[in-house]
Amino acid sequence: TPMVKQYEKGMLEFMSQEDYTNLVCDQLEILPPEMIIHRITGDGPIDLMVGPMWSVNKWEVLNEIDNELARRDSYQGKKFEHKVKS
């Protein structure tokens, strides 16, 4: 794919697992608490995987997100601010 070619040329970098975990937690904190999240991470055929290889272990990724939320004493919607338009 064009994106793989960009990666191979050094034009793209994969996120680290730590950066991904922090970004997901940051986003969860500002989403409405009643919003249902259907997929935080996914998995695909390993033979088609280009990277990041840390994402292959779906349960490890999900556990890291849970651990980071616990470390922050946080949860989905903790920083959500409902703004009413007048």
Asked, for residue 20, whether it belongs to a domain, the answer is yes
**Which residue range forms the structural domain that includes residue 57?**
2-71
Asked, for residue 58, whether it belongs to a domain, the answer is yes
How does pLDDT run across 3-45, given as a tens digit for each residue?
A: 889 989 999 999 999 999 999 999 999 999 999 999 999 888 8
Residue 64 in this model has a pLDDT that exceeds 90:
yes
Asked, for residue 52, whether it belongs to a domain, the answer is yes
Mean pLDDT of 44-71: 93
Angle, CA of 66, 57 and 10, to the nearest 5°: 105
Asked, for residue 27, whether it belongs to a domain, the answer is yes
Residue 30: which H helix or E strand, with range?
helix 17-30
Asked, for residue 65, whether it belongs to a domain, the answer is yes
Model confidence pTM above 0.95? no
Cα–Cα distance, 10 to 77 (Å, whole number) = 37
**Structural domains in the chain (count):** 1
Q: Which residues contact 29 (CB under 8 A, 6 or more apart)?
A: 72, 74, 75, 76, 77, 78, 79, 80
Mean pLDDT of 57-80: 97
Asked, for residue 78, whether it belongs to a domain, the answer is no
Asked, for residue 76, whether it belongs to a domain, the answer is no
pLDDT of residue 83: 81
Residue 54 in this model has a pLDDT that exceeds 90:
yes
